[in-house]
Structure 1
Amino acid sequence: MADQKASKPAWEKIVSFWKSEGQIPSAIREIVSVLVTVGAVVAVLLLVCGTWPAIVTIESESMVPHMDVGDLVFVVAGDRYGTMQSLEEGNVSGYEKFGMPGDVIIYRPNGNTELHPIIHRAMFWVEEGEEITVTAGLRTGTYTAPHAGYITKGDNNPVIDQVGWSNYRNLGGPIEPVKKEWIIGKAMYKIPLVGYLPLNIVPVIIIVVSLMVLHELYLRSRAKREEEKKDKKV
């Protein structure tokens, strides 16, 4: 009786499947390639920037004229590439970033991880119970810090964040002084307009997918015409 042909080891089957030219293996290779590329980019950003997210998009005009809607901003940890400084400290040291003294920081309002981070300038540090004078137009009042943290403000906003909203995006109250652990990082560089892509990600995806489908239909149509030409010659 003839010996039955030994089945291939599992790893050989996997390699054979991976190298085959079928539609499913090709699709899997494309997906894996994209995932590996994305993973490599994320790893490099984490290594260089030391924080996450390492890229944010400007969505409002609160930082005009130094940052505009659609700007893509690269973020680094507060202790990377120099110590983080407030506007008050920048006035003393001469350090400037994005057109004014001090750093522009990215922070989670009241430490809330569900809300979109805010990107505003760190103005100065306050201690718990410290009172500061706040002017809004013709009105002047006093703000008492509930705890220690940074007072922040958009360069284009008339008042500091801590008195700008009575209930910021249903946060349950006003924005409090920014604790160090709420800070994601500081803004390092910006690229104008590129941020419009993530701001409009749904229509961008629809356009890209539509172009891919049209391209695939075009390739199939061309292949069919070439086959018909060959058949006529025969």
Structure 2
Amino acid sequence: MPQEDRRSKGIPGAIKGVIVAVVVVVIIMASLYAYTGKWPPMVVVESDSMQHSSDRSFIGIIDTGDLVLVKEKDPATVITYLQGQEIGYQTYGEYGDVIIYQRYGNPNYKSIIHRTMCRVEYNTTGGGFDVPELADIPADQWNVLGSSQQVWWNLDGIVEIYDIGYMEVTIHLDLGALINYFHGRGRVPHSGFITMGDHNMAYQGGELVGLYDQLAICREPIQYNWVLGAARGELPWFGLFKLWVTGEAPDNVPQNSVTNLWLTLGIIIGVPIVLDVTTVIMKHRGVDIWAWTKRFGLRRSSKEKDECLSDVACEPEKKGPKKKIR
């Protein structure tokens, strides 16, 4: 077959490859959308606030540069840390669900991906907050400062919750400060989630305390309609590309995340090249390493491929009128 004809026959094959690649991507994204019910179906983690180490990342933990699915979920069914501790429910290495929420319900603010610690419900009768989930954890794990009774309803002071998270920090939940925040703005307090990043902690007076979001990141309890979804799954490291391109990568990206990313890319790119080179070398030696696939009808034999490159390459037999034999 002339060289020009061979090239012309290769063009449809190249186009077909592109079409197949596009279709595969569309199917994957459609599947993710069908699973999560959200678009885009995933977010890039931009900080170390959920890490379980200052300088290392781990599979199964939310680290800087990870891609995480955002699954649509009824906030009423979200399991908090205190609830998860009671029933043994964990996600990403700790009790309870991790949610993605908009601060103050404002879409112009960057979304936050943090763990739900507990629910607080505003007590319109007494003017304090109820924390019903405290009733289900051991009495020695929490305390109401300045109170002679350990009650979980109509609280307007500081509640201490002990041994929280992988570092077993103490949370000083200042409900009085939360109430004053609303009153100082002429507003009535509202119910919602108390949230915290797994890695957000600091030493205060020699004690390691948890820095929950309502101290600074979002001063109000997270209302249900601010919740975008619950975090599910993890594609580690690949979100680093987006952070590098946008200049949003923090200085403390775990080095093993960077190393693992390049190693993974090397494998993804290198394996097909190695297979192609090996196939060519072995073919010159008369060995078809893919011969086993022919039994499944996955590929043509080398002989069939060679015939396709000949002058009569895979052309269907043209049927003409039969000649009469006299």
Give the TM-score range, shorter chain.
0.5 to 0.7
Separation of aligned partners in 2, 1:53 and 1:132? 40
Which residue of structure 1 aligns with residue 214 of structure 2? Answer: 162
Distance 1:40 1:134 in 2: 49
* Aligned match of 2:228: 184
Q: TM-score, normalised by structure 2?
A: 0.44
Distance in 1 between the 2:35 and 2:64 partners?
A: 25
User: Is 1:68 the equivalent of 2:68?
Assistant: no
Percent same amino acid at aligned positions? 36
Residue correspondences, number: 167
Deviation at 1:134, TM superposition (A): 6.2
What's the offset of the Cα at 1:58?
1.0
Q: Tell whether the 8 Å contact from 1:52 to 1:184 is kept in structure 2 after alignment.
A: no
- Higher Cα radius of gyration: 2
State the secondary structure of the residue aligned to 1:62: coil
C-alpha RMSD of the superposition: 3.4
Please tell me whether the aligned partners of residues 122 and 153 of structure 1 are also in contact (alpha carbons under 8 angstroms): yes
- How much has 1:115 moved relative to structure 2? 1.5
Give distance in 2, aligned partners of 1:161 and 1:183: 14
Check if 1:49 corresponds to 2:36: yes
Structure 1: runs of 5+ lacking an equivalent = 1-20, 22-26, 166-173, 204-234
Q: 147, 165, 172: which is aligned to 2:190?
A: 147
**Equivalent position of 2:107 in the other structure:** 113
Q: Which residue in the other structure is 1:17 paired with?
A: none
- Partner-residue secondary structure (3-state), 2:63: coil
Q: Show the counterpart of 2:322.
A: none
Instruction: Judge conservation of contact 1:53–1:184 (CA < 8 Å) in 2.
Output: no
Rounded to whole Å, the distance in 1 between the matches of 2:173 and 2:191 is: 22
| SS of structure 1 residue aligned to 2:241 | helix
- 2:54 matched to 1:59? no
Give the 3-state SS of the residue equivalent to 2:118 in structure 1.
strand
Q: Which residue of 2 aligns with 1:212?
A: none
The residue identity in structure 2 corresponding to 1:54 is: P
Given candidates 220, 241, 256, the residue that maps to 1:197 is 241
Amino acid at match of 1:56: V
Q: Is the 8 A contact 1:154 1:160 kept in 2?
A: yes
- CA distance in 2 between counterparts of 1:93 and 1:201 reads 42
Q: How far does residue 44 in structure 1 lie from its aligned partner after superposition?
A: 2.3
TM-score (norm 1): 0.60
Contact 2:158 2:172 in 1 (8 A): no
**CA distance in structure 1 between the aligned counterparts of 2:94 and 2:246, rounded to whole angstroms:** 35
Write the distance in 2 (CA, Å) between the matches of 1:114 and 1:154: 21
The match for 1:92 among 86, 94, 98 is 86
Q: Distance in 2 between matches of 1:101 and 1:137?
A: 15
* Unaligned 5+ runs, structure 2: 1-10, 53-60, 123-127, 130-155, 161-168, 183-188, 202-210, 248-326
Which amino acid in the other structure matches residue 96 of structure 2?
A: G
1:33 & 1:164 partners in 2: Cα distance? 48
Corresponding residue SS for 1:200? helix
**C-alpha distance in structure 1 between counterparts of 2:34 and 2:171, whole Å:** 48
Amino acid at match of 2:36: C
